[in-house]
């Protein structure tokens, strides 16, 4: 039998329906792969083998009776940011030690209702704050890819690094992730897989640990564009428990994947042509443009004039919202508690011990920009810039542009413990330079593998779409995926 873990999500789903193998068999294959590889990759921080087996048995009963759901029997990994009832949920932070929710996030509940199997909880940057998965309390996740002729371990990107690593290394058929400033798309680019940040409001935020509430959005990470479309269909939907959830119809995204781009207008923003952009990234972008042209798209230069302000504005808005959201972690009702002589001292000691360095940095920045003397100068101004960024996109789409093509990241994956990144947080933040505008405007965007750098590491392109028009993104991303025709199988060095 073919290694069941090497099948795409669609192939797994279709094989289960055709009774070519059982859910118990495919789930066992993934659990075995995790057992053999997770020690090296640190992608999972909690594996629920017994629960997965029970869910698989139930799925096999449903499949046998012909009552299986859209994802019946398909094994998935879940980012540690999603609440899973009775199962480890810590947002990769020490301050949530031992927290077992009494409720299920809406996104994961949707997946279980559609028949998916939970393999475990995936590593991430602490509270989703990071671009490399190095801020996790459980240690960094590792990218399955390595450069040619080198043994340097690379970051998988962040914050959804464990999700990207697990999908790329065949440790799950797909994984949930979240994106606040690029945390789906950057890991997808670094690990040679596909990741979409849907329109803000497309997926419910209920039961997802909050980082920046006006920016956070859940989405899938998968090995192919079609898999991504299938998984998003199950994740998405209106939720009355989330006041920011959009009451819009969820289409069959997979039906749009192969419709092509003939007649589409694709915008190329001049502001994304950065000084000092690596030649490899520039060349890849040009190649992507030609692929879309060859498939019948009309490619046009556009302007998004406020793009240059997006990154600084994001790093005001996001920490401000984080400082408010993280105020709830005080050691009183759940999680870590460090005793103190007074309640104030207990708060101080608990937060000092429970929050990692990067989380503390962002909370302090956020508290500063929200303080009485600086609120207008920083936070209010950043929100005004955010409005201008959104208006830039609205104008471009009003002029007839269907989607926008840009690079996904300024480079391929870098080494774990990279000295330059560690010494200067701003250099780490610059990894989000192509992605944060999308979150500030609430738009959908997808990262799709499109090439490799000189060391053979994956590179990706990003497509940005109109609000609630993920279908166009899947169609155009499929053109890029098919045109690139890449071998995206990293050498399995991590297997015991």
Q: What is the pLDDT of residue 2?
A: 67
Q: How confident is the model at residue 184 (pLDDT cuts 50, 70, 90)?
A: very high
Q: Quick check: is 72 in a domain?
A: yes
Strands (E), 248-383: 265-269, 298-302
Q: What is the pLDDT of residue 244?
A: 97
Q: What is the pLDDT of residue 218?
A: 98
The predicted model gives 153-179 an average pLDDT of 98
**Choice among 10, 79, 197, 466 that is catalytic:** 79
Q: How many CB atoms lie within 10 A of CB 59?
A: 26
Q: Which residues does residue 75 pair with via DSSP β-bridges, in sequence order?
A: 117
- The C-alpha atoms of residue 232 and residue 251 are separated, in whole angstroms, by 10
Q: Quick check: is 355 in a domain?
A: no
What percent of the chain has a predicted confidence (pLDDT) above 90?
Answer: 95
Q: Quick check: is 466 in a domain?
A: no
The model's pTM is 0.96
The predicted model gives 81-90 an average pLDDT of 98
The reply to whether 132 belongs to the active site is no
Query: Above 70 in pLDDT, residue 466?
Result: yes
The reply to whether 204 belongs to the active site is no
Q: Quick check: is 56 in a domain?
A: yes
Query: Above 90 in pLDDT, residue 275?
Result: no
Tell me the CATH number at 57: 3.90.1300.10
- How many structural domains comprise the chain? 1
- The C-alpha atoms of residue 234 and residue 76 are separated, in whole angstroms, by 12
For the stretch 185-204, pLDDT in tens is 999 999 999 999 999 999 99
Q: What is the pLDDT of residue 286?
A: 97
* Domain with 193 in it: 4-259+478-484
- The C-alpha atoms of residue 378 and residue 366 are separated, in whole angstroms, by 10
Q: What is the pLDDT of residue 477?
A: 98
- The C-alpha atoms of residue 37 and residue 44 are separated, in whole angstroms, by 10
**Choice among 159, 234, 245, 323 that is catalytic:** 159
For the stretch 231-263, pLDDT in tens is 999 999 999 999 999 999 999 999 999 999 999
Q: Quick check: is 191 in a domain?
A: yes
- The C-alpha atoms of residue 120 and residue 75 are separated, in whole angstroms, by 10
- 117-122/44-47 β-pairing: antiparallel
- For 331, residues 6+ apart whose C-beta sits below 8 A from its C-beta are 95, 337, 338, 346, 347, 350, 351, 354
Q: Quick check: is 115 in a domain?
A: yes
- The C-alpha atoms of residue 164 and residue 427 are separated, in whole angstroms, by 22
**Choice among 93, 183, 204, 323 that is catalytic:** 183
Q: Quick check: is 316 in a domain?
A: no
Q: Quick check: is 165 in a domain?
A: yes
* Orientation angle between helical segments 310-325 and 357-370, nearest 10 degrees: 100
The predicted model gives 204-231 an average pLDDT of 98
The reply to whether 234 belongs to the active site is no
Residue 178 belongs to what H/E stretch? strand 175-179
Query: Above 80 in pLDDT, residue 227?
Result: yes
Q: How confident is the model at residue 114 (pLDDT cuts 50, 70, 90)?
A: very high
């Amino acid at each position: 039998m073919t290694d069941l873990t090497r099948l795409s999500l669609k192939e797994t789903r279709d094989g289960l329906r055709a009774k070519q193998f059982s859910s118990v068999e495919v789930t066992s294959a993934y659990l075995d792969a995790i057992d053999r590889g997770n020690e090296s990759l640190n992608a999972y921080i909690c594996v629920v083998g017994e629960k997965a087996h029970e869910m698989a048995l139930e799925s096999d009963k449903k499949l046998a009776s012909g009552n299986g759901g859209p994802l019946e029997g398909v094994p998935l990994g879940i980012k540690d940011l999603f609440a899973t009832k009775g199962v480890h949920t810590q947002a990769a932070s020490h301050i949530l030690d031992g927290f077992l929710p009494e409720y299920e996030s809406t996104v994961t509940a949707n997946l279980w209702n559609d028949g998916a199997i939970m393999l475990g909880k995936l590593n991430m940057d602490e509270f989703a704050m990071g671009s490399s998965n190095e801020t996790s309390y459980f240690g960094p996740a590792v990218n399955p890819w390595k450069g040619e002729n080198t043994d340097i371990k690379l970051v998988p990107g962040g914050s959804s690094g464990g999700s990207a690593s697990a999908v790329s290394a065949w440790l799950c058929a797909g994984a949930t992730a979240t994106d606040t400033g690029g945390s789906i798309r950057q890991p997808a680019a670094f690990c040679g897989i596909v990741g979409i940040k849907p329109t803000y409001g497309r997926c419910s935020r209920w039961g997802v640990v909050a980082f920046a509430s006006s920016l956070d959005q859940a989405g899938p990470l998968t090995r192919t564009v079609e898999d991504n479309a299938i998984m998003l269909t199950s994740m998405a939907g209106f939720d009355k428990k989330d006041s920011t959830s959009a009451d819009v119809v969820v289409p069959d995204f997979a039906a749009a994947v192969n419709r092509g781009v003939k007649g589409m207008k694709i915008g190329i923003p001049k502001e994304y042509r950065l000084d000092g952009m690596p030649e490899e990234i520039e060349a890849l972008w040009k190649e992507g443009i030609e692929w879309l042209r060859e498939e019948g798209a009309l490619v046009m230069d556009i302007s998004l004039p406020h793009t240059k302000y997006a990154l600084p504005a994001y790093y005001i808005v996001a920490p401000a919202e984080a400082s408010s959201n993280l105020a709830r972690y005080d050691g009183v009702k759940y999680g870590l508690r460090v005793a103190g002589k007074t309640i104030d001292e207990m708060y101080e000691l608990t937060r000092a011990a429970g929050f990692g360095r990067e989380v503390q940095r962002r909370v302090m920045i956020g508290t500063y920009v929200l303080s009485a003397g600086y609120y207008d100068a920083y936070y209010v101004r950043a929100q005004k810039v955010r409005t201008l960024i959104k208006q830039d996109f609205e104008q471009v789409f009003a002029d007839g542009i269907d989607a926008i093509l840009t690079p996904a990241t300024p480079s391929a994956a870098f080494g774990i413990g990279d000295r330059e990144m560690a010494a200067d947080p701003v250099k780490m933040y610059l990894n989000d330079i192509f992605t944060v505008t999308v979150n500030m405007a609430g738009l959908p965007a997808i990262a799709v593998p499109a090439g490799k750098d000189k060391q053979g590491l994956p590179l990706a392109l990003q497509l940005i779409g109109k609000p609630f028009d993920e279908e166009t993104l899947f169609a155009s991303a499929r053109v890029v995926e098919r045109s690139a025709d890449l071998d995206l199988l990293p050498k399995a060095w991590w297997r015991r």
